[in-house]
Structure 1
Amino acid sequence: MPKSSSAIPRVSPLADIALQGRFGADKGVPGVTLSVRHPMSIVTVIARKGQSAALARAIEAAYKCSLPGVGESTGTPSLSFHWCGADQYYAIAEGKAESELYRDLKARLEGLASCSDQSHGRVILRVSGPKARALLAKGTPIDLHPSTFGPGKSAVTQMAHVGVHLTQTGEDAFELSVFRGFSENFWEWLTEQAEEFGYQVL
């Protein structure tokens, strides 16, 4: 008898690529720390025509969290919402069962938004450390100066010719969401660019 979908383990596409260890320049403390945030529940939420305000109210009532404005993120590490376009958001959660977040959002937002489960389609990478901004600045035209781009900010951009959703989660901490099919090449680019700073993979 075939296994049910809930019994199938969710394997990161970078499981054999993002190997733990210390790499690059070996003097002093690593300038960058890299890790893969996995497994994650990722759902695209797109407001239906004329339902933006109602959607915001529904999210507030259901999750005690306001929808983010343009270029912003809201929520907590366990459940957050990230702006990714006009009336479009990523809902991201950890510690959820397979498709649990998608089913919950779909039921609660019926008639207000279209929801699409992206949990197997995207990969989230964490980049942190004192040289994190310098590393990311190599690949994006976005102004990452703290006075412009700080915690709670999000942006849709490109790095190494790959579409990236970028969020700042802390003073020197960022998360990058990329399509699964590009994740291996993107990881290779990211680690190559981090070599001059010295980097640690967790």
Structure 2
Amino acid sequence: MPDRNSALRGQRIHGQFGNISKEPGVTFREIKDFSYLEITLWDWARDSLRSKLAELLGIGDLPDTGDSQRLKEGRLLHLADGSLAYLGAAAPADILEVAITPEEGCVVPLGHARCLLRLEGPKAVALLRRGIREDLRDTAFAVGQVMTTDIGGIGVLLLRPDTAKFDLLVPRSHAIEVWRWLTRRAAPFGYEVL
């Protein structure tokens, strides 16, 4: 995979900012080495592909809609009925691209068109609640769940890989807008850019 230039070049400055007392409330990290595929399964091939993909990826079954399945080097996301996505290392992405034939579905690599931001810390949920109109309580959006939503009117994919950790997959063309939105609203909590 070629080195990916940061979509936030000139904007993402490392350090601590905002209201820092002892520990920052939120930490931000841009993850540059990742693959992202959107996978559509044609209606007639879904059942056979479900078992084929589960076997290929070494999982019992595909995750339910709105959930993700942890893989050795990434996550398989079930976005909607017949719509999956893969987020992670390049090797499984390459396998998925080859495994699904055009007669079974469509695989579109979109990692080059996305920016992946990781937010974590004790105030990560409070920060996201300032712009996401979805219920982010642990009982409503548990670890491993995924949703498409928006921040400031910009569509994003939100994944919760851990209790106080969130991954935001943002279109590169809107990465700076989302970054500014996040950092402005994180200032009262104190934040650190890694």
Band of TM-score, shorter chain:
over 0.9
Equivalent residue in structure 1 for 2:4, among 2, 10, 20:
10
Aligned-pair distance for 1:169?
0.6
Give me the whole-angstrom Cα distance separating, in 2, the residues matched to 1:20 and 1:82: 30
Give me the whole-angstrom Cα distance separating, in 2, the residues matched to 1:79 and 1:128: 18
Residue 43 in 1 paired to residue 37 in 2?
yes
Whether the aligned pair in 2 keeps the contact of 1:84 and 1:165 (CA below 8 Å) is: no
Return 190-199 or 55-64, whichever deviates more: 55-64
Whether the aligned pair in 1 keeps the contact of 2:40 and 2:105 (CA below 8 Å) is: yes
Give me the whole-angstrom Cα distance separating, in 2, the residues matched to 1:113 and 1:58: 13
Which SS does the other structure have where 2:37 is aligned? strand
**Structure 2 residue aligned with 1:57:** 51
C-alpha spacing 1:196/1:117, structure 2 compared with 1 (3 Å): same
Equivalent residue in structure 1 for 2:64, among 51, 66, 69:
69
Give me the whole-angstrom Cα distance separating, in 1, the residues matched to 2:9 and 2:77: 26
**Structure 2 residue aligned with 1:108:** 99
Say how many residue pairs are matched: 192
Percent identity at matched positions? 27
**Structure 1 residue aligned with 2:74:** 79
Unaligned runs of 5+ in 1: 1-5
Runs of 4+ residues deviating >6 angstroms: none
Residue 89 in 1 paired to residue 79 in 2?
no
Matching residue's letter, 1:38: K
Residue 24 in 1 paired to residue 15 in 2?
no
Give me the whole-angstrom Cα distance separating, in 2, the residues matched to 1:56 and 1:19: 43
C-alpha spacing 1:171/1:26, structure 2 compared with 1 (3 Å): same
Which SS does the other structure have where 1:29 is aligned? coil
Which SS does the other structure have where 2:184 is aligned? helix
Matching residue's letter, 1:53: D
TM-score, normalised by the number of residues in structure 1: 0.89
Unaligned runs of 5+ in 2: none
Aligned-pair distance for 1:112?
2.0
Residue by residue, what CA displacement relative to the aligned partner does 1:133-181 show, whole Å, maximum 9, x if unpaired? 0000111111011121110111111111100111111011111111110
Residue 175 in 1 paired to residue 167 in 2?
yes
**Structure 2 residue aligned with 1:137:** 129
Aligned-pair distance for 1:101?
5.0
Residue by residue, what CA displacement relative to the aligned partner does 1:46-97 show, whole Å, maximum 9, x if unpaired? 1012222222111111111332211111123622111222211111122x3x
Which SS does the other structure have where 1:62 is aligned? helix
Which SS does the other structure have where 2:135 is aligned? coil
